[in-house]
């Protein structure tokens, strides 16, 4: 469960990037976070993960405060950032071993999960190559595998499908569904409206730092013109039509 309570983020003297955000994502739910560029999506995810400080309010991850119980809160989630260019001089296997050591994953379990996940994402043969030699999609996949190694209860994913080939994209979406079916939480941002429509239990739309809609896609369509596409509804809500 993720609880975002009255959260605001101010950059500099007066730029309000996120404005009094209140949101609860339930156990067993896939939640899609949508909004145009600069709306506050990535800032919100960075506050959720402790990368960016919160100006006002608090965020709880499985009832652990990211501000006052940061270590315990960070144990609750795995995070895939929007930029996969990290630790490029390591091989894929070195990176995964490093991540597993941080989270104290037992060796036998670590080895089993690396094998299973690398096979599932068709990355096994590239594990001994340096990440700097990976394509963008391969870098995205190695980050996803690293996130899943310690089997976190909460997945926080920033544009996770960007750069993935169709098969890997399908695999990740299936894993998101499996994670939610096991009573855990998936929170991800996306620009791909069709993905949100197909796999999300609920979506939230943020624009200019303010949350302007929370609910299912069916509820969103019911509020607007019955025959409108999701894309036209999104553009109408965010003022970009």
Domain ranges of the chain: 2-238
Taking the C-alpha atoms of residue 139 and residue 86, their distance in angstroms, rounded to an integer, is: 8
Q: CATH classification of 2-238 is 2.102.10.10, yes or no?
A: no
**Nearest 10 degrees: CA dihedral of 188, 191, 196, 201?**
40
Residues 157 and 2 sit within 8 Å (Cβ to Cβ): no
The single residue listed with the structure tokens 């949101």 is 23
pTM for this structure? Answer: 0.84
Q: What is the pLDDT along the chain (241 residues), one digit of tens a residue?
A: 999 999 999 998 889 999 999 999 999 999 999 988 888 888 999 999 999 999 999 999 999 999 999 999 998 998 888 777 888 999 999 999 999 998 889 999 999 999 999 998 899 999 999 999 998 888 988 988 998 898 899 999 888 877 778 888 888 888 889 889 999 999 988 877 777 888 899 999 998 899 988 998 878 777 766 555 566 666 666 665 4
Cα torsion angle, 204, 25, 197, 45, sign: positive
């Amino acid at each position: 469960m993720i609880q975002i309570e009255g959260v605001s983020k101010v950059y500099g003297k007066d730029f309000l990037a996120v404005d009094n955000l209140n949101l609860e994502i339930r156990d067993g739910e896939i939640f899609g976070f949508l909004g145009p560029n600069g709306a506050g999506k990535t800032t919100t995810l960075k506050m959720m993960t402790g990368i960016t400080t919160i100006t006002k309010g608090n965020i709880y991850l499985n009832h652990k405060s990211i501000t006052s119980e940061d270590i315990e809160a960070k144990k609750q989630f795995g995070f895939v950032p929007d930029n996969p260019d990290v630790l490029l001089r390591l091989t894929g296997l070195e990176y995964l071993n490093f991540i597993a050591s941080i989270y104290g994953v037992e060796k036998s379990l670590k080895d089993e999960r690396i094998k299973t996940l690398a096979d599932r994402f068709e990355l096994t043969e590239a594990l001994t190559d340096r990440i700097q030699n990976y394509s963008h999609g391969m870098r995205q996949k190695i980050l996803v595998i690293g996130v899943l190694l310690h089997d976190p209860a909460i997945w926080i994913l920033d544009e996770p499908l960007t750069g993935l080939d169709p098969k890997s994209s399908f695999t990740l979406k299936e894993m998101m569904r499996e994670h939610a079916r096991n009573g855990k939480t998936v929170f991800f941002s996306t620009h791909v409206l069709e993905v949100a429509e197909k796999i999300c239990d609920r979506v939230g739309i943020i624009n200019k730092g303010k949350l302007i809609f929370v609910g299912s896609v069916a509820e969103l369509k019911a509020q607007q013109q019955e025959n409108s596409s999701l894309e036209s509804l999104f553009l109408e809500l965010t003022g970009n039509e």
